[in-house]
Amino acid sequence: MVDLNQYRALTFDCYGTLIDWENGILGVLKPLLLAHNVNLDENQILALFAEFEAEMEKGEYIKYREVLKRVVQKFGERFDFEPTADELKSLAESIQHWLPFSDTVEALKTLKQNFKLVIISNVDDDLFAFSAKYLEVEFDQIITAEQARSYKPSLNNFRLALEKINLPLEQILHVAASLYHDIVTAKSLGLSTVWVNRRADQKGLLTTVSAVSQPDLEVPDLKTLTALSSLKQY
């Protein structure tokens, strides 16, 4: 059990942890693929998204809008169709409409009373600005891939965040839904971690590349983490 008394800052991944990116992704890719006579189930779509996204985020940095454009292009290459210009932009353009999980906003507002809140997200600054409006709290720091010019699981993103937070490692708790993007790297730097396993009752971790790591705490949602935070003593 993680003792929340020792932490002053909570760092959060955004998409998949705070924002429901699986429904956002499926809302674009499912009809796009059907329009090109490609009939995949949701799990297949998400697994391919994870594969293509990870491939596009390796190597020289490109903005996340371009990552998502290339992901759509990869679907076309894999299934032998040519996406239109609008289809290539559709994933990135849809982010402005992706909504938080039902427990996110209330949890953030509650946690904000006791902790500094920080975002560490694989996204562009302008794209996160769309999501920030839905999250309804003011974050103490926002670190994006655009600022770091790299993508998690790179150490660089976390090191930039730690520099900006300027607190001892033992006072920072990282909260994320992806073992691959977040938990493995955060643990390697000595951070305590909470795995928000929102797919605990489903098969697989389909929207990210698989990885193995042992978080300090596993919770099924942010509501559970918030309940634990209410035990924090002063």
Interval 81-91: pLDDT, tens: 999 999 999 99
* Beta bridge partner(s), residue 227: none
Reference 87, options 28, 18, 20, 14; nearest CA is: 28
Whole-number pLDDT of residue 201: 67
Q: What is the pLDDT of residues 151-167, one digit of tens each?
A: 999 999 999 999 999 99
**Lowest-pLDDT range of 39-48, 103-112, 197-206:** 197-206
Whole-number pLDDT of residue 199: 79
pTM: 0.91
Instruction: Using alpha carbons, list the distances in angstroms from residue 228 to 7, 216, 224.
Output: 13, 14, 6
Q: Are 90 and 97 in contact (CB under 8 A)?
A: no
Whole-number pLDDT of residue 5: 82
* Beta bridge partner(s), residue 172: 9
Whole-number pLDDT of residue 202: 59
DSSP 137: S
Query: Is pLDDT of 68 > 90?
Result: yes
Query: Is pLDDT of 134 > 70?
Result: yes
Catalytic residue list contains 80: no
Banded pLDDT at 233 (limits 50, 70, 90): very low
